[in-house]
A = this chain, B = another copy of it.
Amino acid sequence: MNSFVYDIPVKVYFGENQLGHLGEELSKFGKRVLLTYGGGSIKRIGLYDKVMAEIKNAGLEVFELSGIEPNPRIDSVRKGAQICKDEKIDVLLAVGGGSTLDATKWMAAGACVDFDAWDFFNEKWAPVEKALPVVTILTLAATGSEMDAGVVISNPETKDKIGRIAEPLLPKVSFLDPTNTYTVSPYQTACGSADMMSHIIEVYFNMNQDLYMLDCFMEGMMKTIIKYTPVAMKEPENYEARANLMWTSSWAINGFVNGGKQQAWSCHPMEHELSAIYDITHGLGLAILTPRWMEYCLDETTVSKYVQFGVNVFGIDAALEPMAIAKQSIEKLSDFFFNTLGLKRTFTEVGIKAEDFPIMAKKACGDGILPGFKPLAQKDIEKIFEMCL
């Protein structure tokens, strides 16, 4: 069992009617705020006006950058970093889902360096030594960016989609109000839950010695996603469902469940290559990939983890043969993604073409081996892609 450092000093205001604390929290970092958001849904739900009122009541000066796109692009980051420099911004306030949050966290890093924000991802892989403070108001339960130190940024010119984790990127404060997710469509709710499910599966499927206590917690979060996603899709204003999904999004990926496990992820790197080229919703790509990846990795050496998953998460009869439980567990997960949540089942349905498999597979494994639950070479990844057709 590995040693680890637990250090997640993000302050979270959870629940309704917490926005009254926004002004006091922003003011801790200074007077000049850069407000960032996406396509304007925060205006439609009235959140923009509430946020602006709180900022103004606190006597702060606000600058704005809107139009941050899904799978956020380096160009938006460049714009934001430049505003931070030009306007001597003290704190960034990201209002939106994971894309807006990721882009904003990366602006906060870009604002502190002289070079271009994409240069962090070049061969140099420059360390992220500091970042301006970021406060977030979450409007979509999915990526967990509100409580983690990661970002994923896309570069359409180079067709790259690259992730980075660095402690200075951790938000200082996040506001999680489940009612801000009431207008999330059933489809986006489903994709968000597929993303969370994958975050947990990437850590849970691991043959190293585990902290059982953390495995129990991961199983609890997976049961939460399975229980409440269909509820939130049918009753978008069900507070209990939205609250459970929202708090799960943060804890699925903030690092707590790792407990010292050093294993690299598998489905996320593969999916990033899909959405880098096809710009599909990240959670949808993960839903299509994950059951096929599980099927590909199942053998006598890994079956025990599938049994634990099947019995504890889906309630499959523990008395059955291990391999039968394992296969049923994959079927149950597929059934959840493709029938219960109604997500598309194949690459063909979402327009991903076999001709791109070699280049996507090659990039996913960085021209070598993609480590993880089972190490995957380019040909393994291509086979998994083929299973998704």
Contacts and interface: CB of A to CB of B under 8 A. Distances in A.
Contacts of A17: 3
B13 A247 contact: no
Interface string A1-33: 111111111011111111000000000000000
B259 A213 contact: no
A221 interface: yes
Contact of A217 (B1, B5, B220): B220
A50 interface: no
Contacts of A260: 14-15
Contacts of A6: 11-12, 14
A6 B12 CA distance: 5
Interface stretch (A131-139, A185-193, A236-244, A286-294): A236-244
Nearest to A223: B216
Interface string A205-228: 000010111111101110110011
Nearest to A4: B14
A248 interface: yes
Given A14-B6, A15-B260, A211 B247 contact: yes
A240 B3 contact: no
A366 B331 CA distance: 57
* Copies of the chain in the assembly: 2
A1 B16 CA distance: 10
A247 B219 contact: no
B3 A11 contact: no
Given A6-B12, A260-B14, A248 B1 contact: no
Contact of A5 (B13, B215, B223, B240): B13
Contact of A224 (B9, B209, B213): B213
Interface in A235-291: 239-240, 243-244, 247-248, 251, 259-260
Contact of A15 (B4, B219, B240): B4
A217 B251 CA distance: 11
Contacts of A1: 15, 239-240, 243
B15 A213 contact: no
A4 B246 CA distance: 14
Given A1-B240, A3-B14, A243-B1, A216 B220 contact: yes
A80 B9 CA distance: 29
23 contacts: A1-B240, A2-B15, A3-B13, A3-B15, A4-B14, A5-B11, A5-B18, A6-B14, A8-B8, A9-B9, A209-B240, A212-B227, A212-B244, A213-B220, A213-B224, A213-B244, A213-B247, A213-B248, A216-B216, A216-B219, A216-B223, A216-B224, A220-B220
Given A4-B14, A216-B219, 14 more contacts: A1-B239, A1-B243, A2-B15, A3-B15, A4-B15, A5-B11, A6-B11, A6-B12, A6-B14, A7-B12, A9-B11, A15-B260, A209-B240, A212-B227
The 7 closest A-B pairs by CB, nearest first: A216-B220, A3-B15, A9-B9, A6-B12, A213-B224, A7-B11, A217-B217
